[in-house]
């Protein structure tokens, strides 16, 4: 089950609720006449995919990104689970973000979580996912609130991630007890971070987990547009996010795309992806290139799933399995 939370002004709330209601009715009707978008999906899963695709599209049409962010957060659907997590805003002397701490915690690991959202959004959904990660993996987590594009193009986000990593180490956290987890753009940032740590001769973390990572900031692979009908993120959106990340700076497409980089002699990397997401082809190609570099890499793809399907927590069997595999990957390096 999901629960709905409203935020912001009344007009946005009404518009979002109307969209959710309309999409839900359409999904039910299409299933009654035998035309589901994907017969492997439950009706509620399909509703969620189409609703969040709609919300992204509307957010992109707003006159400015600030208005788009406000609209995007106007109606949030979250998995109704109790993760037994205490969430605390970071202190003045800490990087901007939020701590999520498990009660009666047993693990001595720390997760540095880098959220998705195309580098342009840090939505309530991502914040709830951070709590979910901490709760289901049962590990203390720091969710970094890095600076966003288009106001702050690269390298602002990378600089913030490096600063957060250094902060953890300087405050006594053993790098071998740090796990990086990033989804979508956060997966991109995770890959850029371990590269930057290597260049700065800083110690690597124990493991980098990348959920639906963005490995090329431009179009790559047939899935980039062929899976548009299934995915909540669309190809044109990823192109726009890439332009915002570059932001007219000197940084090239190649320098900002992990698929062109050498990942040898870095920490182990675990990647999860959905077979129906627009970025699955670039993820598979990236994984293939890393295998040629003899990287300690594992790639798991759930054939019927979409971008960031893990946000469904234990409410969907594939999402539940993804968390189980993440937990196993962490235990294998501890």
Mean pLDDT on 155-165: 98
**pLDDT reported for residue 21:** 97
Residues 187 and 38 in one domain: no
Q: For position 278, what pLDDT does the model report?
A: 98
Number of domains in the chain: 2
Torsion of CA 186, 134, 207, 292, to 10 degrees: -50
Contact between 180 and 190 under an 8 Å Cβ cutoff? The reply is: yes
Burial of 27 (0-12, 13-18, 19+ CB in 10 A): buried
- pLDDT digits 0-9 by tens, 209-267: 999 999 999 999 999 999 999 999 999 999 999 999 999 999 999 999 999 999 999 99
Residue range 274-284: mean pLDDT, rounded: 98
pLDDT digits (tens, 9 = 90+) for 100-158: 999 888 899 999 999 999 999 999 999 999 999 999 999 999 999 999 999 999 999 99
User: What's the token pair of residue 75?
Assistant: 């109606």
Same domain, 65 and 134: no
User: Tell me, what's the pLDDT at 78?
Assistant: 81
Q: What is the pLDDT of residue 103?
A: 85
Three-state SS for 72?
helix
- Among 23, 47, 77, which residue terminates a domain? 77
Start-to-end CA span in the chain (Å): 34
Q: What is the 3-state secondary structure (H, E, C) of 204-244?
A: CCCEEEEECCCCCCCCCCCHHHHCCCCCCCCHHHHHHHHHH
Confirm if 282 and 233 have CB atoms less than 8 A apart. Answer: no
Count of beta carbons in the 10 Å neighbourhood of residue 254: 12
Do 110 and 59 lie in a common domain? Answer: no
Asked if residue 88 and residue 149 are part of one domain, the reply reads yes
Identify whether residues 30 and 130 lie together within a single domain: no
Residues 66 and 199 in one domain: no
Peptide bond just before 150 cis, omega within 30 deg: yes
pLDDT > 70: what percent of the chain?
99
User: Do both 116 and 243 map to the same domain?
Assistant: yes
How confident is the model at residue 211, as a pLDDT? 98
**297-302 vs 85-89, strand pairing mode:** unpaired
What sign does the CA torsion over 218, 222, 228, 232 have? negative
User: What is the domain-level CATH number for residue 109?
Assistant: 3.40.50.1820
In a shared domain, residues 35 and 92? no
The SS3 call for residue 150 is: coil
Q: 103: domain range?
A: 83-333
Whether residue 70 is found in the same domain as residue 211: no
Query: Is pLDDT at 45 greater than 70 in this prediction?
Result: yes
Q: What is the pLDDT of residues 68-106, one digit of tens each?
A: 999 999 999 887 677 789 999 999 999 999 999 998 888
Q: Let me know: does 112 contact 142? Beta carbons within 8 Å.
A: yes
Indicate the residue among 77, 111, 133 that finishes a domain: 77
Clarify whether residues 134 and 238 are in a common domain: yes
**Both 28 and 94 in a single domain?**
no
Of 282, 278, 311, 284, nearest to 297 by C-alpha is 284
* Residue that terminates a domain, selected from 77, 98, 125: 77
Per-residue pLDDT band for 1 (boundaries 50, 70, 90) equals: low
Does residue 119 sit in the same domain as residue 165?
Answer: yes
Residue 311 carries which DSSP code? G
For residues 196 and 166, is the Cβ–Cβ distance under 8 A?
no
| 318 has pLDDT over 60 | yes
State which H helix or E strand residue 301 sits in.
Answer: strand 297-302
pLDDT at 80: 62
């Amino acid at each position: 089950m999901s629960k709905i939370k409203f935020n912001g002004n009344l007009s946005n709330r009404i518009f979002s609720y109307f969209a959710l209601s309309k999409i839900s009715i359409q999904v039910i009707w299409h299933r009654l006449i035998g035309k589901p978008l994907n017969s492997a999906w439950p009706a509620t899963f399909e509703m969620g995919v189409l609703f969040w695709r709609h919300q992204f599209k509307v957010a992109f049409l707003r006159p400015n990104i600030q208005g788009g962010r406000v609209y995007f957060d106007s109606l949030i659907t979250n998995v109704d689970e109790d993760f037994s997590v205490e969430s605390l805003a970071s202190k003045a002397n800490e990087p901007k973000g939020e701590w999520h701490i498990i009660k009666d915690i047993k693990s001595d690991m720390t997760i540095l979580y880098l959220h998705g959202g195309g580098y342009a959004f840090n939505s309530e959904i991502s914040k709830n996912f951070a709590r979910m990660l901490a709760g289901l993996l049962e590990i203390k987590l720091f969710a970094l609130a890095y600076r966003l594009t288009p106001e702050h193009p690269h390298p602002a986000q990378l600089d913030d991630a490096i600063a957060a990593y250094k902060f953890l180490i300087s405050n006594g956290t053993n790098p071998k007890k740090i796990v990086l987890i990033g989804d979508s753009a956060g997966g991109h940032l995770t890959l850029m971070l371990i590269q930057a740590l290597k260049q700065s001769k800083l110690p690597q973390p124990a493991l980098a987990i990348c959920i639906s990572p963005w490995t090329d900031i431009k179009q790559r692979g047939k899935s980039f547009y062929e899976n548009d009908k299934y995915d909540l993120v669309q190809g044109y959106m990823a192109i726009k996010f890439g332009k915002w990340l570059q932001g007219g700076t000197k940084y090239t497409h190649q320098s900002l795309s992990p698929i062109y980089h050498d990942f040898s002699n870095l920490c182990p990397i675990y990647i999860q992806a959905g077979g129906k997401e627009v970025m699955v082809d670039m993820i598979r190609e990236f994984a293939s290139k890393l295998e040629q570099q003899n990287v300690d890499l594992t790639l798991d793809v759930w054939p019927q799933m979409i971008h960031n399907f893990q946000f469904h927590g234990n409410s969907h069997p594939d999402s539940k399995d993804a968390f189980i595999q993440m937990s196993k990957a962490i235990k294998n390096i501890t």
